[in-house]
Structure formats: C-alpha cells, structure tokens
Amino acid sequence: MIVLLLSGCGPMESSGPGGKGSLFPIVDGFDFPVGGPDGQGWDITGYGFLEWSSVSNSWHPGEDWNIPLAGNGDLGEPVYAIAHGEVVFSGWNTALGNVILVKHRLPDDTYVWSQYAHLDRRDVRTGELVQRRQQIGTVGRGPNNRFAAHLHFEIRSADLPANAWPRTNGTAWEKERVAQYWLNPSEFIWQNRYHTKQ
C-alpha cells in the first residue's frame, strides 16, 4: 500500500471475469486531454459535442480541441490520458488516423471510455495501463494530413469499437440516439474532476 501511495497510483483491483488477470486502476478523477489539467491554453475550436458536422454529415460525437489561432502550430503537442485506465485499442483507422481508446473504471464499478483521434504519434499499446495525465500520444492531422492539426476527443458510456461513428449505412443517427452512447466530454470532466477516496 505504501508503494502505491508513493508512486501516485490510485487504488487497483483485479480486472475480474474476462480480464487478463492484470490489475485495473480505479479512477481518482478526470483531467482534460490537452493543455493543463483544466485544459488551460486550449479550446474547442472545431466541432463541439452534438454539433452537426458538414464533414461527416452526422451529429459530432465528441469535441475538436486546438490551441486558439494556432493553425497547425499545435501539431506534435502532448495528448494525455484523462484518467487511470487500460488501453483497449491503439492503432490506425482509415477515417480517424491514429486512435487510442482507454477504458476507465469508476468508483461505483461502472465504466466509461475515452477516445483520442487524429493523433500524430501513439505512445501506448493495447493492453497497457495508464495513469491520469500520462502522455499517450501527440496531436496530429488525421489520415493523410486531411485536417488542420487538432485532437478529436470523445467520452463514451458504452463499449463501442474504435471506429464507431453515429451513422448506419450512411444515415446519421438522431441526436437523442447519439447521446445514449456518447457523453458531453467537457461537461463530464468538469463534473468528475476529483473522486473522494472511499
């Protein structure tokens, strides 16, 4: 226990049925994925949560983070894990580019998933445990430098594949249906900045 406290790690529990037998961290709070812990110096300069995207012709399931007026000046800036968790996907997606998906265990034994897309670099592999504010990658421009540099960031309330997008056979989901699977990222983080120890 002393080692855990000195290392800054949060409580850990066995991953349970279906797990790999590894220890799965329980979150002690959430920080923003770019800038300071409160997102200082960055803003949602692209599409926000549940804004209609003319690029994808669907309701946007996340937030596009950028340093205001930076253009591509934030290319290569650090991207951080928002909370303790396990990397459940780290790989390439033809629509999103480099993607990292992290599963987070909340103190009430429920889960949320954070996804980081359009990355220039991925610094973690599938199966790794990460800590809050650990650098996991860098800001990129998406596949084939398709976009201006920014972080596409999502928080999901359901276990979805990394390439999940709120469309079926090219038809956009209704906004209410999107909200059943994706959470408002900034709102969720502000409401869950810190968890008290139980």
CATH code of the domain in which 127 resides? 2.70.70.10
What is the tally of structural domains in the chain? 1
In a domain, 10, yes or no: no
Domain that holds residue 111: 17-191
Per-residue DSSP letter, 139: E
In a domain, 198, yes or no: no
Question: In angstroms, what CA-CA distances link 189 with 1, 165, 179, 193, 195?
Answer: 28, 21, 16, 6, 11
Res 72: pLDDT: 95
Q: Give the CB-side neighbour count of residue 3, counting CA atoms within 13 A.
A: 1
Dist CA 104 CA 110 (whole Å): 8
Query: Where does residue 132 rank: exposed (0-12), middle (13-18), buried (19+ CB within 10 A)?
Result: buried
Q: What is the pLDDT along the chain (198 residues), one digit of tens a residue?
A: 323 332 334 444 444 434 444 578 999 999 999 999 999 999 999 999 999 999 999 999 999 999 999 999 999 999 999 999 999 999 999 999 999 999 999 999 999 999 999 999 999 999 999 999 999 999 999 999 999 999 999 999 999 999 999 999 999 999 999 999 999 999 999 999 986 544
Residue partners of 150: CB distance under 8 A and separation at least 6: 45, 46, 64, 65, 66, 74, 118, 139
Dihedral, CA of residue 135, residue 136, residue 139 and residue 143, to nearest 10: 170
In a domain, 40, yes or no: yes
In a domain, 1, yes or no: no
In a domain, 84, yes or no: yes
Res 9: pLDDT: 40
In a domain, 111, yes or no: yes
